[in-house]
Amino acid sequence: MNDCIFCKILKGDIPSYKIYEDEKTYAFLDISCDSFGHTLVIPKKHFTNALDCDEEYFQAVTAAVQKISRHFVDDCGFDGVNIINASGKAAQQSVFHLHIHIIPRKNDDGLNTWALNGKYELDLAAICKKLAM
């Protein structure tokens, strides 16, 4: 896509800080600088999000996410990672090229990536009936 910022990064039109690359994926630091090592993993082919990505590329992206995450923990001294994806505007997706965030974590780093609105009274049986495949 001509106006996609991540496609422009892949073409080299916009610089990035590469963390990892293979045949189907590219990973780079998020320029938001909101946490140390915040990394984005994208497919080298344009897909809007996880809902329209073909299985081959989605598997490649998730394999890269796991490989990078293990590297962060095993080789870089992190204690864990958050792996986050937003698919669709309602899910707060802001760049419409599939991307998965890896946020490296340290014990007691003070980050709160689970800022949900609280607990709701929900009928889990009814929800399961509606959502089950």
Active site residues: 99
- Give, for 43, the enclosing helix (H) or strand (E): strand 39-43
CA distance 126 to 63: 34
Rounded (5°) CA angle 80-82-83? 125
> How many Cα atoms are found within 13 Å in the side-chain-facing hemisphere of 1?
12
| Tokens found for residue 122 | 């929900």
Please give the C-alpha separations between residue 91 and each of 20, 86, 115, in angstroms, as whole numbers. Answer: 26, 5, 14
